[in-house]
A and B are shown apart, each in its own frame.
Chain A
Amino acid sequence: MSEAVETPARKEVRETLIVSRRVREFPDDAHTFERATSDGAYEIWKEVLRRADVQWIHDEVKASGLRGRGGANFPTAIKWESLPDNGLPRHLVINGDEGEPSTFKDRLLIEGDPHALIEGVCIEAYRIGSHRAFIYLRGEFALGADRIEQAVHDARAAGYVGSNILGSGFDVEIVVHRGAGAYICGEESALIESLEGKRGMPRIKPPLPIHVGLYSEPTVVNNVETVCTIPHILKMGGAQYANLGVNRSTGTRLAAISGHVNNPGVYELEFGMTLRDIIFGIAGGIRGDKQLKFFLPGGASFQWLIASDEHLDQVYDIDDISAKLGTTLGSGAIMVYDEDTDPLLVAWRLAKFYAHESCGKCTPCREGSGWLEKVLYRMSHGQGRPNDMDALLDISAGISPDVMKAPFTQTTICPLGPSPVSAIASLQKYFRAEVEAACAAGVPA
């Protein structure tokens, strides 16, 4: 969308606890059925069943302006509207794969408030008419898996999940599935392949999962945080939720802040704060009284920002940041680096991750990411060559033809391929001189 974005009002520097309220208030036992239910879990689910009004759910979520929290920011209600009416069974799949470096916000909900997730799943399944929902969890989430399994068990025992729920005639079963440690299985079509028991590789789109998804049937895939937000929207009303945030970035989102800050962690932030407020206010500034050098405002896959006023005064707003600075808020992770950090080393480490996690399906990602990694390794380990930076840009252009542009174009099937290119573009934009100096000084191999 290229429509003009209004300058948003500045928000107060504080957290706004909605989806994370329960777990933050009761960090020790919010995951238990007793605590969760005494704190109001499943009340909205009961209300939904009492009203038996699918349209109500839809209208409230649409009014709330909720956009997917998995990284693509797609409006949740619009996704529902795209469901085909072709008589085939529909599936709901919850994306809890959370595998991107520095992204750890869904984990808080999965481990800390599983009943909120289950309540959200039930309501969304009810909205789309699905009787089988799958929660796909990152393989390493052992504690999370235990807690979700337990919570599903307890919810079923209490009659909130299963068949003929609370006498309503509505059935929904929840299947918990653990991944096998591949980041790419967070991409929704690869996740579906994996759920079907196949090797996790993204599918060719179209068709989109909403049309041809799990078992070739219409499938809604949503992020954990997205789903957990739905009951709160119904509780407070969509319009009320939309009052929070700025412009088309309504409500709050969980931000996972990591790196050289004094107070790393997951924070629930209303959209609209400046990045300066987030890094220096919320996260307590740079540790050890160091200077901020650069930061990744949207996780590992998107372009970096530096310690300039222009960047620090940027408002936390999905559309505004991409229109102005060519990066996005991605998966809600913010990685912060101090003055002593070698940007080459960061770029190498990111490239190494993507080279390792490339599913191997498309040539540019499979071969290009490995090539980038090898060159960056040399550059960051004292073996750089004078034209290495240009080589990086050239290789990048084979993966993402307009290297410097965001959102990126791609020669690959999914956006994982161009992800390491964001780091290369950032090096070129902000650290070209530093990189060249490092390479000139390096001892050629």
Chain B
Amino acid sequence: MTTTEPQSTKTTVSVTIDGNTVEAIPGEMLIKVAQENGVYIPRFCWHERMKPVGMCRMCLVEVDGIRGLPPACTMPVAEGMVCHTETPAVKQAQDDILEFLLVNHPLDCPVCDRGGECPLQDTTLAFGPGESRFVEEKRHFEKPIPISNVVLLDRERCIQCARCTRFADEIAGDPLISFVDRGGHTQVLNHPNHPFASYFSGNVVQICPVGALTAKPYRFRARPWDLATVETSCTQCSVQCRGALQSSSNRLVRLLGIDSNAVNHGWLCDKGRYGFEYVHSDDRIREPLLNGAIASWPQALDAAADALRSARDLHGAESIGFIGGARGTNEDAYAWSRLAKGVLGTDNVDAQLGDGLPAELILGVERASIAECDSAAAIVLLAPDLKEALPVLHLRLRRAALDLRVPLIDFSCAPHGLSSEVTHALAAAPGEQGARAEQLVAAVNGASSDGVIAAAAATMKARAGTIVVVLGRANLAERSDATVQAVAALAQLPNVKFLSALRRGNVHGALEAGLAPGILPGRVTIEYRDAVAAKWSAIPEAPGLDTEAMLRAALEGKIKALVLIGADPIADFPDRALAEAAVRAVPTVIAIDGFHNESTQRAKVVLPATMFGEKSGTITNLEGRIQRVNQKVSPDGLAMDDWRIASELAFRLGHDFDLETVDEVTNELVSVAPALAGGSAQLFRSARDGVRIPVAQHHAEVQLRKGLGLTLDGPDGVSWEPIKVEAEITVESVPENGNTQDAFALLRWDGGSVRVDLPGRDAYALRLIGSVSLYDHGSAVSESPSLVGLRTVPKLLVAAADLQRLGVPNGTEVHVASANGAFNIVVQAIKGLQPGVAQLAAGSGNAANALIDAAAVVNDVRVETIR
């Protein structure tokens, strides 16, 4: 554009495709513009979420003024472009390309997993030649070879589209597979010594347009036409990726990612993709147990209700505690919340296990959406390693940093999945995040600063947009105080929002349903009692205990009955010694779970609960998006939905919840939860991409919404094509600025006044970071055959300089000791870890939680060679 004429304000270009002129964003690829306007150009290599490579040549078209047949997937649209997708030359080229792709293809469709849902089959049917003229010998390779523990590769079937290799490199950042050899021998391979060990390996199986890549869990398990499918959301972590869950003969066989622009872009991590296997594990609890023996449901429920009643009657409601509930649905959480607070009257309820952050902080800060990260001014990482904790969020942030050039400002002092993408590394040692954040905020506000703080502040000021703070518990070996202090500081930044990185599947839904001390459903405190008063008979007067306080109370003999809702505090609470002693000290433990664990072993009553794929309802992800989970198979054994168990218990305690269907539970939750006002089971069902309900500002608005309901403005229906428009909620009419006197009581976190006083550290001690790993000790991994082998034995990670200083050889077994525990473990030097710090994953056995004292601000350990 070198003309001096005034620039038109038009931001789109006109493109003519097969005679129809459409408007498109300049630079968009022709194949996508055509697709959005109803013209399907066949393709193999192009994938909407990856950069084009133009390899397969299936998408050749004619464009006026361009010689030959350019590929539509690498052709950016420009003003006045005229393109033809159905001319004889194009049809001939499509025929030719398909014939080329088939000459060396083994055509073993009858025994191919992809048969019946194969893009190569489908495209050949729709666009290809009817016959092959190839009479030569086909290319041969050894039939499937493993490229990882989970994925197999059949190179004869590969059509060299580079979807898998691009995914591994561009999206996952694990470039462990690539093309080797040339010409007709071109093949995908991993390096012989490096398997394709990626947390995201299953995605390549899903996006491979042929049956070249197959996953062990699904191989030869089903034919596509025998599969029944529901759309659902993964519940393994709080990202809650959208997926299509498939079963054959009442067994779950596969979870496929669905492209949701809001959440997962179609990707799943392998834990989510294969973790459903545990549903069918032989170790499932299938019948209720009473004192270790199989019991009937009535027997077990009666025993549980009796224990709760007598605890309440003899020792008061505060002698009862509820821990857990973050693995179920919102409906489950609500029913437990109503049972605990509204029936029994105890506020000792906590969905977190001392490994998260205060509920009023998570519920009370201004929330960012996942998608807001894409255009953020900067992303601040005050969180654990997201690759381990929230894998698909990690992918999204990696893309934001790499492709969208959003600066990352990182508080971590340990290496993590995004380390190489970090723009400014603030490297706050354990306990120092708060002080560091205060320096940063002061620098943004103009205080003089230097070094990385000054640089980070300059970056934050240089770009317009929201600053998104990803907020989680980075270190289990320190109290959450320093993080809280950091949030209080960061909340002072202009345009700041927070994206919670608490990881348990439905922890946000559980907190929002009231499974936290001092909280009632709908993001309000127990002072705001009116909403629930209509339904609930008892409401606690004062805030109760969180998990840590409950465990301490139990040690003092003050907890007489403890209900574990899919929770194993002995393994999951950061301080194993405390949790173990506390659970032992409780006279009656009631466990609702799918599997036995160390804590259920201590239970008098064990009630079998339904799991993923066996139940329906809604869940809420880390950005507050309410999405559906759907049942696909009938529950194993006698397992029951949590919400039903809770209402059965309530009934035995003299309260009829009068809830027959899960939709009724949803609607009751919505009716009592101010933050959800206007929602409904119907609305959540029809919002394919889920809904984030905007925060009501005023009491009047809540009432108005309750009356009018919220309307869904976006696509619904079932399709695997990417969603274009995010579902949006509109409120018919919001009172203009309302009545300011009527300012609404939704929880707003006031920042608190926590300040951390760090104890000194002696020269021989290392300050501990307790980390999380994706393949942890939980049942989703240990009971899923495809995942259990991927778990690694934790090692103590230390900076090389410290090893040298302490005279400990790398890779040897050492003795590590804290005030709380000691054991022998292999030590490993890692790059990027701050000297003076040691990192160890939490888990069962010799893991971080065996060292941590939950009361300590930070935990120090000593490392010694074994003599």
Contact = CB atoms under 8 A, between A and B. Distances in A.
Interface of A: 182, 184, 199, 204, 355-364, 366-371, 374-375, 378, 391, 394, 397-398, 401, 409-413
Given A355-B184, A398-B96, 12 more contacts: A204-B52, A204-B53, A358-B182, A360-B185, A361-B53, A362-B55, A363-B101, A397-B96, A398-B93, A401-B92, A409-B67, A411-B96
B68 interface: yes
Contacts of A204: 52-54, 74
Which has the most chain B C-beta neighbours within 10 Å: A184, A357, A412, A413? A413
B844 interface: no
A140 B394 CA distance: 45
Mostly, the A contact residues are helix
Contacts of B183: 355-360, 366, 369-370
A261 B578 CA distance: 93
Which has the most chain B C-beta neighbours within 10 Å: A356, A366, A394? A366
A206 to B, nearest CB: 9
Contacts of A371: 100, 103, 134, 136
Contacts of A199: 178-179
B24 interface: no
Contacts of A360: 160, 179, 181-186
Interface string B156-169: 00011000000000
Contact of B184 (A361, A367, A398, A409): A367
B133 interface: yes
What 3 pairs across the A-B complex have the smallest Cβ distances?
A360-B186, A398-B96, A370-B184
B69 interface: yes
Given A204-B52, A357-B182, A374-B137, A364 B69 contact: no
15 contacts: A204-B52, A204-B53, A355-B184, A359-B183, A360-B182, A360-B183, A363-B57, A363-B100, A367-B100, A367-B104, A370-B139, A371-B136, A398-B100, A401-B93, A412-B57
Given A199-B179, A401-B89, A401-B92, A363 B136 contact: no
Which has the most chain B C-beta neighbours within 10 Å: A356, A358, A370, A375? A370
A113 to B, nearest CB: 32
B130 to A, nearest CB: 15
A413 B54 CA distance: 8
Interface in B188-217: none
B616 to A, nearest CB: 45
Interface residues of B, number: 37
Nearest to A202: B54
Contacts of B99: 398
Given A397-B96, A409-B68, A362 B57 contact: yes
A378 B137 CA distance: 12
A182 B68 contact: no
Mostly, the B contact residues are loop
Contacts of B182: 182, 184, 356-360
Contacts of B69: 401, 409, 411
Given A360-B160, A363-B100, A394 B181 contact: no
Interface in B98-118: 99-101, 103-104
A232 B250 CA distance: 81
Interface string B609-632: 000000000000000000000000
A199 B165 CA distance: 12
Contact of B96 (A357, A359, A364): A364
Nearest to B134: A371
Given A363-B160, A364-B100, A391 B57 contact: no
A118 B611 CA distance: 72
A184 B160 CA distance: 18
Contacts of B184: 355, 358, 360, 366-367, 369-370
B56 interface: yes
A361 B52 CA distance: 13
B52 A368 contact: no
Contacts of B524: none
A8 B616 CA distance: 84
B672 interface: no
B104 to A, nearest CB: 6
A360 B189 CA distance: 14
Interface of B: 52-58, 60, 67-69, 74, 89, 92-93, 96-97, 99-101, 103-104, 133-134, 136-137, 139, 159-160, 178-179, 181-186
B272 to A, nearest CB: 32
Nearest to B186: A360
Contacts of A359: 182-183, 186
Nearest to B101: A363
A361 B179 CA distance: 10
Contacts of B57: 362-364, 411-412
Nearest to B99: A398
A401 B183 CA distance: 20
Nearest to B69: A411
A362 B54 contact: yes
A357 B185 CA distance: 10
Contacts of B103: 367, 370-371
Contact of A398 (B55, B97, B134, B179): B97
A204 B45 CA distance: 14
A401 to B, nearest CB: 7
A10 to B, nearest CB: 34
Contacts of A358: 182-184
A423 to B, nearest CB: 17
A24 to B, nearest CB: 37
A391 B96 CA distance: 12
Nearest to B93: A411
Nearest to A413: B54
A77 B139 CA distance: 46
Contacts of B133: 391, 394
A411 B56 CA distance: 10
Which has the most chain A C-beta neighbours within 10 Å: B160, B184, B186? B184
B55 A410 contact: no
A366 B183 CA distance: 5
Contacts of B68: 401, 409-411
B353 to A, nearest CB: 46
A74 B134 CA distance: 39
Contacts of A378: 136
A200 B178 CA distance: 12
A393 B818 CA distance: 78
A357 B346 CA distance: 75
Contacts of B58: 363
Contacts of B56: 362-363
Nearest to A361: B55
Contacts of A398: 93, 96-97, 99-100
A184 B104 CA distance: 22
A411 to B, nearest CB: 5
B652 to A, nearest CB: 68
Contacts of A374: 136-137
Nearest to A184: B182
Nearest to A356: B183
Which has the most chain B C-beta neighbours within 10 Å: A358, A371, A378? A371
A371 B135 CA distance: 10
Contacts of A361: 53, 55, 160
Contacts of A391: 133
Contacts of A357: 182-183
A105 to B, nearest CB: 25
A361 B89 CA distance: 22
A398 B58 CA distance: 12
B229 to A, nearest CB: 32
B136 A375 contact: yes
Contacts of B55: 361-363
B45 to A, nearest CB: 9
A196 to B, nearest CB: 14
Nearest to A367: B100
A374 B185 CA distance: 14
Which has the most chain A C-beta neighbours within 10 Å: B67, B101, B186? B186
Contacts of B139: 370
